[in-house]
Chains A and B, each alone.
Chain A
Amino acid sequence: MSKGGRMSKARERIFAAIRRNKKPLADAPVAGEGGARADTIPTHTIPVRTQLTAEALCAEFEHRLSAASASVEWVESASGIPAAVWRHLSDQQRRTQCFANGSAAELGWASVPELDIRSGAGDADSPVCITSAFRGIAETGSLVLLSAPGHSSASYFLPELLIVTLSRRDILATQEAVWADLRRRPEDMPRTVTLVTGPSRTGDIEQKIVLGAHGPRQVHVLLVN
Chain B
Amino acid sequence: MQPSCSSFKQQAAQALRDPKLQGAFGKLGDGLQARRAAAVGQLPEFEALREDARRIKRRVMSDLDTWLEQFEQKVLGQGGHIHWASTADDAREAILAICQRVGAKTVTKGKSMVTEELGLNDYLVDQGITPVETDLGEYILQLRREAPSHIVMPAVHLAQDDIERTFVESHPQLPPDRDLSTAESLVAEARQELREHFFKADVGITGANFMIAETGSTVIVTNEGNGDLTQTLARVHVVVTTIERVIPTLEDLSTFLRLLPRSATGQEATAYVTLSSGPKREGDMHGPEEFHVVVLDNGRSELLGSENQDILNCIRCGACMNHCPVYGAVGGHAYGWVYPGPLGAALTPALIGVEKSAALPNASTFCGQCVAVCPVKIPLTDIMRRWRVREHGKKMTSPLARAGLSAWAWLASRPALYRKFTGLAAWGMALCGGRRRRLSRMPLAGGWTRYRDFPAPEGETFHAQLAQLKKRAAKTGAEGLRHEQGGAHE
Contact = CB atoms under 8 A, between A and B. Distances in A.
Contacts of B402: none
Nearest to A198: B271
Contacts of A182: 250
Query: Looking at chain B, what size class is its interface with the partner chain?
Result: 35 or more
A52 to B, nearest CB: 15
Contacts of A156: 225, 228
B258 interface: yes
B159 to A, nearest CB: 7
A215 B159 contact: no
Contacts, number: 290
B272 A196 contact: yes
B153 A203 contact: yes
Contacts of B154: 204
A204 B136 contact: yes
A51 B90 CA distance: 48
B251 A153 contact: no
Contacts of B233: 154
Contact of A192 (B93, B160, B275, B309): B275
Interface string B118-149: 00000000000000001111001000000000
A31 B305 contact: no
A67 interface: yes
Residue of A28, A49, A147, A202 with highest tally of chain B CB at under 10 A:
A202
B269 A142 contact: yes
A1 B103 CA distance: 22
A66 interface: no
Interface stretch (B41-49, B366-374, B385-393): B41-49
Interface in B19-67: 24, 27-28, 31-32, 43-45, 48-49, 52, 56, 58-59, 61-67
Interface in A1-50: 3, 6-11, 13-15, 17-19, 21-25, 28, 31-32, 35-49
B422 interface: no
B183 A121 contact: no
A48 B297 CA distance: 38
A37 B66 CA distance: 8
B62 A18 contact: no
A110 interface: no
Given A47-B45, A175-B254, A190-B277, A152 B284 contact: yes
A201 interface: yes
A124 B199 contact: yes
B30 to A, nearest CB: 12
Interface string A177-199: 00100100000111111111111
A174 B243 CA distance: 28
B160 A45 contact: no
Interface stretch (B186-194, B335-343, B462-470): B186-194
Given A21-B301, A154-B229, A215-B271, A44 B286 contact: no
Binding site secondary structure of chain A: loop
Interface stretch (A89-97, A163-171, A206-214): A206-214
Contacts of A214: 134, 191, 194, 224-226, 229
A190 B278 CA distance: 9
B364 interface: no
B312 to A, nearest CB: 11
A42 B287 contact: no
B196 interface: yes
B225 A213 contact: yes
B165 to A, nearest CB: 13
Contact of A67 (B59, B215, B268, B283): B268
Residue of B135, B228, B278 with highest tally of chain A CB at under 10 A:
B228
A201 B261 CA distance: 14
19 contacts: A14-B297, A15-B65, A17-B301, A18-B301, A21-B301, A23-B62, A23-B304, A32-B66, A44-B49, A45-B52, A48-B45, A140-B268, A149-B282, A154-B232, A175-B253, A207-B28, A210-B183, A214-B194, A214-B225
Interface of B: 24, 27-28, 31-32, 43-45, 48-49, 52, 56, 58-59, 61-70, 78, 83-87, 90, 93-94, 97, 134-137, 140, 153-156, 159-160, 163, 183-184, 186-188, 190-191, 194-196, 198-199, 212-217, 223-226, 228-229, 232-233, 243, 248-255, 257-258, 265, 268-287, 295, 297, 301-302, 304-306, 309
